[in-house]
């Protein structure tokens, strides 16, 4: 009883923090991103971004370790009026967390949620070379030892893993969620998913990713996020995509879209970790000079420190 109460409280709290208590922000012309205040307007390391080759450097980062992501356990999914979100991972005996990926320490999984639009050519928050995916999934992680409130005041308080969704044959990745999606049509709806495996919403290969410093993409747009964007997308069927598009917002309408437009890098660089097969190319001819320079500058910086 007690633990289920704290769980409900923490779920409500997280919905509030990620959605600013009671404030009527949204994605339409009256309450959309152009009207959001504070860091959403003034910030200089905002998310999302358009990832262009010219802003990207190859980087020899370690892989991201997804620990405890293979467990099958219970989560609670909620329509909070802005998105559908699933939480409860922090109640598990073995709490799922990530490490590696040039992160410092462990980051514990708090919740995941999705961004989408009504048309296939929009939906994701991040763009790659100017192009969008139809949807994007965010796994939100909190740095070990911090409260959410503390994390939001630090540049590295949170680590969000972004996964692109592509319309394809397999409905496996989102199956556990979409089975319950009809019960989540309206804002405030909540449902239990008895058997959810975090690994299921990750692509088979997680070796290749983009890495940069950014923000939450909802008010107050806190610049507290270490972003890890996986290069390989997961598959969602057209039917599942249509189901997602029926989810309604605080106003009781289907979301025309619930993604934020992209922001300038303002001098930030994006680091890209290629997958194994890319690394063969990396060492051959054209990539070799840049690999050499990267290794050389790592050695140099170690000496200078
Ligand atoms: C979802 O919310 C609507 C509106 O508040 C309500 O009428 C409906 O019963 C809820 N559905 C479920 C499954 O809880
Ligand atoms: Zn998000």
How many angstroms separate the CA atoms of 229 and 126, rounded? Answer: 9
For residue 164, the cross-strand partners are 136
The reported pLDDT for the residue numbered 16 is 44
The reported pLDDT for the residue numbered 292 is 65
Query: Which ligand gives the minimal distance to the CA of 116?
Result: 2
Domain definitions of the chain by residue range: 2-20+45-273
The reported pLDDT for the residue numbered 92 is 98
Query: Which ligand gives the minimal distance to the CA of 190?
Result: 1
How many angstroms separate the CA atoms of 302 and 305, rounded? Answer: 5
Mean pLDDT by 10 residues, the chain (305 residues): 43 44 80 97 98 96 97 98 98 98 98 98 98 98 98 98 98 96 97 97 97 98 98 98 98 97 98 76 57 70 68
How many angstroms separate the CA atoms of 110 and 69, rounded? Answer: 12
The reported pLDDT for the residue numbered 277 is 53
Nearest to 130 by CA among 138, 139, 142, 121: 121
The reported pLDDT for the residue numbered 64 is 98
Other beta carbons within 10 angstroms of residue 196's beta carbon come to 23
Q: How many Å lie between the centroid of ligand 2 and the Cα of residue 113?
A: 6
- CATH T-level topology, domain 2-20+45-273: Carbonic Anhydrase II (3.10.200)
Q: How many Å lie between the centroid of ligand 2 and the Cα of residue 110?
A: 12
Does ligand 1 lie within 6 Å of residue 252's CB atom? no
Nearest to 8 by CA among 108, 87, 107: 87
φ, ψ for residue 46, nearest 5 deg:
-90, 160
The reported pLDDT for the residue numbered 301 is 72
Q: What is the pTM of this model?
A: 0.86
The reported pLDDT for the residue numbered 165 is 98
Query: Can you give the length of the chain in residues?
Result: 305
Q: What is the residue with the minimal CA distance to atom 7 of ligand 1?
A: 186
Catalytically active residues, by annotation: 82, 113, 115, 125, 138, 217
From 81, 184, 189, 246, give the residue whose CB has the most ligand 1 atoms within 8 Å, as the site to mutate.
189
Does ligand 1 lie within 6 Å of residue 188's CB atom? yes
How many angstroms separate the CA atoms of 105 and 113, rounded? Answer: 23
């Amino acid at each position: 009883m007690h633990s289920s109460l704290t769980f409900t409280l923490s779920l409500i709290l997280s919905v509030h923090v990620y959605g600013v208590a009671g404030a009527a922000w949204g994605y339409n012309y009256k309450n959309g991103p152009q009207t959001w205040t504070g860091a959403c307007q003034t910030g200089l390391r905002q998310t999302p971004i358009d990832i262009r080759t010219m802003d990207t450097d190859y980087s020899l980062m370690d892989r991201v370790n997804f620990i405890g992501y293979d467990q099958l356990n219970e989560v609670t999914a909620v329509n909070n009026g802005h998105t559908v979100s699933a939480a409860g991972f922090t109640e598990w005996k073995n709490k799922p967390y990530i490490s590696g990926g040039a992160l410092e320490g462990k980051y514990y999984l708090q919740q995941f949620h999705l961004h989408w639009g009504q048309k296939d050519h929009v939906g994701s928050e991040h763009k790659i070379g100017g192009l969008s995916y139809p949807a994007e999934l965010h796994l939100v992680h909190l740095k070990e030892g911090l409260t959410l409130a503390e994390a939001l005041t630090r540049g590295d308080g949170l680590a969000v893993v972004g996964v692109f969704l592509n319309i394809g044959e397999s409905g496996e990745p989102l199956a556990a969620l979409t089975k319950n999606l009809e019960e989540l049509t309206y804002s405030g709806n909540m449902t239990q998913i008895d058997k959810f495996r975090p690994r299921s919403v990750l692509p088979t290969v997680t070796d290749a990713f983009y890495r940069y410093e950014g923000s939450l993409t909802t008010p107050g747009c806190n610049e507290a996020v270490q972003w890890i964007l996986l290069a390989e997308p997961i598959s969602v069927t057209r039917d599942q995509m249509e189901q997602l598009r029926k989810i309604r917002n605080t106003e009781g309408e289907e979301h025309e879209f619930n993604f934020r437009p992209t922001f300038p890098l303002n001098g930030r660089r994006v680091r890209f970790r290629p997958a194994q097969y890319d690394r063969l190319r990396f060492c051959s001819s054209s990539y070799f000079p840049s690999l050499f320079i990267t290794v050389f500058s790592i050695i140099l910086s170690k000496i200078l420190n």
